[in-house]
């Protein structure tokens, strides 16, 4: 599988994992302290080839994704679920994901401009109604919803922002909530 866009990752180990899975070029951020030069490289790559951001499914990865997205609007986003990127000993990272998981994430890339026009935005009340904001299993539901929609895990406030960022339609959201509820019923039984 050949990826024409440049993939933004956190470090060298991530680049190695990407190259095991697909033919692609990467730009390494070197962590959350992204320098101006790295952001300029990402901006140039975005103009010339397009950019896919694929960071670790943890807090620093989310911070890097946010910094790059704000500095270079219009990037594509790929997400790997936390459970697919864990090494025994609690380390989390793209470098621990299998080639199959990486390919799957890249096949489900989301881009703001390519999303369909949203008829009605998802609201905070929708998240509360779906049990995604508070309650005993809210975190689990958000994790599964993020996987189903290929937008990654987020807390309640960030989930609403991601749903809007990626222009997830109300219909698409409700379909995903239904799928998560079915999965939860099987999980509880």
In this prediction, residue 88 carries a pLDDT of 75
Percent of the chain with pLDDT over 90: 43
pTM (whole model) above 0.75: no
**Mean pLDDT of the region 177-187:** 88
* Confidence band, pLDDT 50/70/90 cuts, at residue 188: low
Quickly count: other Cβ atoms within 10 Å of residue 81's Cβ: 19
Q: Which of 176, 74, 181, 174 is nearest to 123 (CA)?
A: 174
| 112: pLDDT strictly greater than 50 | no
CA dihedral defined by 167, 170, 171, 172, rounded to 10 degrees?
Answer: 40
């Amino acid at each position: 599988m050949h990826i024409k866009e440049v993939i933004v990752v956190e470090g060298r180990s991530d680049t190695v994992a990407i190259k095991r899975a697909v033919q692609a070029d990467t730009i390494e951020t070197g962590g959350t302290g992204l320098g101006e030069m790295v952001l300029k490289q990402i901006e140039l790559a975005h103009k010339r080839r397009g950019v896919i951001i694929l960071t670790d499914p943890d807090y620093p990865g989310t911070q890097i994704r946010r910094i790059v997205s704000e500095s270079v609007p219009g990037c594509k986003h790929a997400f790997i679920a936390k459970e697919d990127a864990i090494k025994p000993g609690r380390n989390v990272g793209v470098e621990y994901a299998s080639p199959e998981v990486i390919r799957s994430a890249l096949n489900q890339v989301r881009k703001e401009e390519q999303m369909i026009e949203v008829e009605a935005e998802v609201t905070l009340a929708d998240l509360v109604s779906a049990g995604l904001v508070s309650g005993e299993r809210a975190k689990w539901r958000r994790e599964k919803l993020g996987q189903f929609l290929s937008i990654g895990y987020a807390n309640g406030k960030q989930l609403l922002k991601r749903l809007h960022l990626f222009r997830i339609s109300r219909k698409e959201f409700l379909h995903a909530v239904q799928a998560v509820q079915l999965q939860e019923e099987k999980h509880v039984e």
